[in-house]
């Protein structure tokens, strides 16, 4: 052991960064995209919407968990920690609305894209809006005046509502001054005005503005003195005691009906909301003052995606691109099975098309020699050509097994529906293992060839979802490797039978071998570094929060290894601490596409066998390593391994447009605006314009 490693082993490991703050920091990086002059204007607005969606999930899941943890006796999380986190969230949301109001709205106006408030509408526009309210909105609204026989209504999670204080007495002579108006989700939140009324611009009105302009009409004979929009965010984690239910699918189906009415976590109102109304709402939802978020604009910026979708302005969007079919790897006229008997195929999404994966399954469904198809389903969407093909496969007499993860958060209903459709035609559907989510992405085909059975597989770092495959960076791997496909089959057998299985040939699986083997290989790198040999670690992930893996990386760096971490989201490892983590660099790349691939490269010597590269479905988080079924597989083909390094690692280590560097205190610093963008270079590369290479 060298002196540096010895010193580090005798010192305490550095204090880890806070996970929740790391999530908020990620959203600050997303919000920064909305302020970039080199990003098309409508895409900048979309980043604002993405932050709103992310923050909704943050409150629904993470913040809800922290509140629950802080309430437990002897909790490690204090109420002071909770207040600090809430203050950080408040600051981020204030920044978001400032970007929206002060930067984007004036720029959109300059481009002839306007949101017309009631005060700014001319007479013709007001007439049109009034007619729209009368014919399309008013019939769906049910104002509720509160009194002992009309209690405060159930308000669904993230729904739009109005609260109003009314003057005078009701029709029965009583002084009930507070009324609530629930706005149905079926109503559009953004309405485009007809061109004849827009003065040559693209003009929109918000549903909230339409309702507030006609609020008095809902309360005949009374005056609306003050009012506000409001929206409540609730704990939306779907809790089911799997050990205490006989039918998990039915239990989750039942739970979905009550999810929208979980414990209130956050209350949003407009910044002009009188304190008497906001205090009343806080009391109704049993929330403390810190849970109140006053916003300068619509209480749900996510819905401005409707404005983006309705705007006709191609120049204000990212240039269109068509993912490339990998013609060199998969000639269009050749059977995919025949090609895989020659060589493995690697697909780099979204730069390469997801269509070959669909074609692989389609070929299997229509091939009379294919006997069995097995697939995992985590997030596939409510419409899926892959699920339709599995159903067709059953009808064609194939043995189809589908492992459907019913507890994929916010996709439970879609997955339940697919499970029921598959079961209805006779597919074998299982729901994984009690207490463990099945997050592995596997598709296995068994085919009879010359009297023998041969397997073909697709493994992926991302979901079987053609839509997100155009938005997320992921790696898909098609193979006929006997060892790899036998391992995939063993995983399916275990998920169905719950039996013990023999050690796998090359696949690493959580919760059994993945975590342990990652630690073993990081320690190999540390040992090589301590002996003065080559020692290199490059890991690309969505999140790094697992403490033992963080400690192993710190030890390896302390021994002299060079460690590069490309972590899109939350990272709890503090880099750059002198004498401790100064050999560790952490970068986050936030660009046009959501970085989603998980890649692990380790080198611990000079020989060819002293390096390995894995692709994986798992982030380095405790839940992935011990609470999920995950897989990691080695890329053993030298040319494909080099391709992953050249396309998925090296460009990201040299990105100077979309990359941010993590500082020791948990803040991030933009690397600069000049220089290469990894994603842009890959788009040009796959469009045939290499421009001198990827770096």
The pLDDT value recorded for residue 147 is 73
Average predicted confidence (pLDDT) for the chain:
91
> What distance in Å separates the CA atoms of residue 589 and residue 464, rounded to the nearest whole number?
23
Average of per-residue pLDDT across 656-676:
91
Q: How many domains does the chain fold into?
A: 3
For the cut 60, the answer to whether the pLDDT of residue 659 exceeds it is yes
439 counts as catalytic = yes
Q: Are residues 412 and 543 in the same domain?
A: no
Alpha helices in 146-225 (DSSP H): 207-213
Domain range enclosing 47: 19-316
> What distance in Å separates the CA atoms of residue 578 and residue 584, rounded to the nearest whole number?
10
Q: How confident is the model at residue 6 (pLDDT cuts 50, 70, 90)?
A: very low
Q: How confident is the model at residue 41 (pLDDT cuts 50, 70, 90)?
A: very high
Assess contact for 530 and 560: CB atoms under 8 A: yes
Q: Are residues 459 and 520 in the same domain?
A: no
What's the Cα-to-Cα distance from 209 to each of 126, 212, 221, 229, 533, rounded to whole Å?
Answer: 11, 5, 22, 10, 67
Nearest-Å Rg of the Cα atoms of the chain is 28
- Contact partners, residue 379, CB within 8 Å, separation at least 6: 408, 411, 463, 464, 465, 468
For the cut 60, the answer to whether the pLDDT of residue 7 exceeds it is no
Q: Are residues 84 and 140 in the same domain?
A: yes
Average of per-residue pLDDT across 108-126:
96
- Contact partners, residue 475, CB within 8 Å, separation at least 6: 346, 347, 348, 349, 460, 461, 462, 597, 599, 615, 644, 648
In a domain, 4, yes or no: no
In a domain, 321, yes or no: no
Condensed to tens digits (0 to 9), the pLDDT of residues 72-81 reads 766 666 777 7
CA contacts within 13 A on the Cβ side of 490 = 17
**Burial category of 536 from C-beta neighbours within 10 Å (exposed 0-12, middle 13-18, buried 19 and up):** middle
Q: Which entry of 214, 348, 439, 515 is annotated as an active-site residue?
A: 439
In a domain, 322, yes or no: no
Q: Are residues 102 and 188 in the same domain?
A: yes
> What distance in Å separates the CA atoms of residue 656 and residue 672, rounded to the nearest whole number?
6
295 or 250, which is more confident? 295
Tell me which range, 249-258, 403-412, 471-480, is most confidently predicted by mean pLDDT: 471-480
- From 449, 469, 504, give the residue that closes a domain: 504
Could you tell me which residues are beta bridge partners of residue 376? Answer: 403
Percent of the chain with pLDDT over 70: 92
For the cut 70, the answer to whether the pLDDT of residue 88 exceeds it is yes
- From 316, 348, 373, give the residue that closes a domain: 316
Q: Are residues 514 and 599 in the same domain?
A: yes
689 or 581, which is more confident? 581
**Burial category of 451 from C-beta neighbours within 10 Å (exposed 0-12, middle 13-18, buried 19 and up):** exposed
- Contact partners, residue 46, CB within 8 Å, separation at least 6: 305, 308
Q: How confident is the model at residue 569 (pLDDT cuts 50, 70, 90)?
A: very high
Tokens representing 134? Answer: 């009368």
> What distance in Å separates the CA atoms of residue 511 and residue 630, rounded to the nearest whole number?
7
Angle, vertex CA 191, rays to CA 268 and CA 109, nearest 5: 85
The pLDDT value recorded for residue 134 is 97
CATH code of the domain in which 593 resides: 3.30.870.10
In a domain, 280, yes or no: yes
Q: Are residues 476 and 358 in the same domain?
A: yes
Closest CA to 270 of 299, 241, 312, 291: 299
Going along 216-311, which residue ranges are E strands?
224-234, 264-270, 292-295
Q: Are residues 291 and 385 in the same domain?
A: no
Q: Are residues 281 and 403 in the same domain?
A: no
The pLDDT value recorded for residue 425 is 95
The pLDDT value recorded for residue 177 is 83
The pLDDT value recorded for residue 415 is 84
Q: Are residues 462 and 571 in the same domain?
A: no
For the cut 80, the answer to whether the pLDDT of residue 59 exceeds it is yes
The pLDDT value recorded for residue 10 is 45
Q: How confident is the model at residue 461 (pLDDT cuts 50, 70, 90)?
A: very high
Alpha helices in 385-450 (DSSP H): 385-395, 412-425
CATH code of the domain in which 152 resides: 3.30.1840.10
- Contact partners, residue 492, CB within 8 Å, separation at least 6: 374, 401, 403, 442, 444
Average of per-residue pLDDT across 269-279:
96
Closest CA to 503 of 521, 517, 515, 490: 490
Closest CA to 62 of 97, 79, 86: 86
The pLDDT value recorded for residue 242 is 56
**Burial category of 186 from C-beta neighbours within 10 Å (exposed 0-12, middle 13-18, buried 19 and up):** exposed
- From 477, 504, 531, give the residue that closes a domain: 504
In a domain, 616, yes or no: yes
In a domain, 6, yes or no: no
3-state helix, strand and coil shares in percent for the chain, rounded to the nearest 5: 40, 20, 35
Condensed to tens digits (0 to 9), the pLDDT of residues 118-170 reads 999 999 999 999 999 999 999 999 898 887 667 898 999 999 999 999 987 66
> What distance in Å separates the CA atoms of residue 625 and residue 437, rounded to the nearest whole number?
11
Q: Are residues 492 and 526 in the same domain?
A: no
> What distance in Å separates the CA atoms of residue 614 and residue 599, rounded to the nearest whole number?
6
In a domain, 247, yes or no: yes
The pLDDT value recorded for residue 406 is 82
Q: Are residues 59 and 169 in the same domain?
A: yes
In a domain, 640, yes or no: yes
Q: Are residues 414 and 476 in the same domain?
A: yes
11 or 77, which is more confident? 77
Angle, vertex CA 487, rays to CA 394 and CA 640, nearest 5: 100
Average of per-residue pLDDT across 338-365:
98
């Amino acid at each position: 052991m060298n002196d540096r490693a010895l010193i580090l082993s005798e010192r305490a490991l550095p204090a880890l960064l806070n996970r929740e703050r790391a999530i908020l920091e990620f959203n600050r990086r997303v919000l920064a995209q909305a302020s970039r002059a080199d990003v098309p204007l409508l895409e900048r607005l979309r980043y604002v919407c993405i932050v709103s969606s992310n923050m909704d999930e943050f409150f629904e899941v993470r913040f809800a968990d922290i509140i629950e943890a802080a309430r437990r006796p002897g909790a490690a999380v204090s109420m002071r920690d909770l207040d600090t986190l809430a203050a950080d969230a408040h600051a981020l949301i204030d920044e978001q609305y400032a970007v929206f109001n002060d930067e984007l709205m004036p720029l959109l106006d300059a481009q002839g894209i306007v949101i017309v408030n009631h005060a700014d509408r001319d007479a013709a526009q007001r007439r049109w809006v009034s007619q729209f309210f009368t014919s399309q909105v008013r019939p769906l609204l049910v104002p509720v005046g509160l009194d002992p026989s009309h209690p405060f209504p159930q308000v669904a999670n993230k729904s739009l509502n109005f609260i109003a204080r009314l003057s005078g007495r009701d029709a029965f002579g009583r002084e009930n001054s507070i009324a609530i108006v629930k706005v149905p989700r079926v109503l559009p939140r953004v309405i485009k005005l007809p061109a004849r009324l827009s003065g040559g611009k693209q003009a929109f009105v918000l549903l909230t503005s339409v309702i507030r302009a006609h609020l008095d009409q809902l309360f005949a004979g009374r005056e609306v003195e003050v009012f506000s929009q409001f929206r409540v965010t609730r704990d939306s984690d779907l809790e089911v005691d799997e050990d205490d239910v006989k039918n998990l699918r039915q239990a989750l189906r039942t739970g979905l009906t009550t999810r929208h009415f979980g414990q209130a976590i956050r209350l949003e109102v407009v910044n002009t909301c009188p304190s008497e109304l906001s205090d009343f709402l806080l009391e109704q939802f049993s929330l403390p003052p810190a849970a109140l978020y006053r916003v300068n604009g619509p209480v749900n910026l996510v819905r401005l995606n409707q404005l983006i979708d309705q705007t006709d302005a191609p120049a204000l969007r990212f240039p269109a691109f068509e993912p490339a079919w990998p013609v060199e790897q998969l000639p269009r006229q050749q059977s995919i099975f025949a090609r895989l008997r020659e060589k493995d195929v690697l697909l780099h999404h979204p730069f390469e098309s997801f269509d070959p994966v669909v074609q692989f399954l389609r070929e299997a469904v229509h091939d009379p020699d294919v006997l069995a198809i097995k697939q995992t389903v985590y997030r596939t969407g409510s419409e899926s050509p892959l699920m339709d093909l599995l159903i067709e496969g059953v009808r064609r007499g194939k043995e189809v097994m589908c492992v459907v993860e019913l507890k994929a958060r916010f996709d439970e209903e879609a997955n339940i529906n697919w499970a029921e459709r598959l079961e209805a035609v006779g597919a074998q559907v299982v729901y994984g293992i009690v207490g463990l989510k099945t997050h592995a992405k596997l598709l296995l085909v068994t085919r009879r060839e010359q009297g023998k059975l041969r397997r073909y597989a697709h493994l992926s770092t991302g979901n079987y979802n053609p839509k997100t495959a155009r938005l997320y960076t992921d790696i898909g791997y098609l193979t006929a490797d006997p060892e790899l496909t036998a391992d995939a089959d063993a995983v399916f057998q275990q998920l169905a039978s719950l039996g013990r299985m023999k050690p796998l040939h090359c696949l690493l699986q959580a919760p059994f071998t993945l975590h342990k083997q990652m630690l073993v290989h990081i320690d190999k790198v540390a040992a090589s570094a301590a002996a003065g040999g080559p020692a290199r670690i490059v890991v690309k992930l969505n999140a790094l929060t697992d403490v033992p893996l963080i400690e192993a990386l710190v030890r390896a760096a302390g021994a002299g290894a060079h460690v590069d971490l490309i972590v899109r989201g939350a990272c709890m490892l503090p880099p750059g601490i002198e004498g401790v983590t100064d050999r560790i660099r952490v970068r986050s790349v936030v660009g046009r596409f959501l970085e989603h691939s998980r890649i692990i490269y380790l080198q611990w010597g000079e020989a060819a066998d002293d390096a390995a590269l894995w692709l994986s479905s798992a982030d380095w988080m405790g839940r992935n390593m011990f609470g999920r079924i995950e897989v990691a597989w080695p890329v053993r083909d030298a040319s494909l391994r080099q391709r992953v390094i050249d396309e998925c690692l090296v460009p990201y280590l040299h990105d100077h447009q979309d990359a941010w560097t993590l500082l020791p205190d948990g803040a991030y610093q933009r690397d600069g605006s000049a220089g290469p963008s990894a994603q842009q270079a890959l788009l040009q590369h796959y469009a045939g314009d290499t421009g001198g290479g990827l770096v």
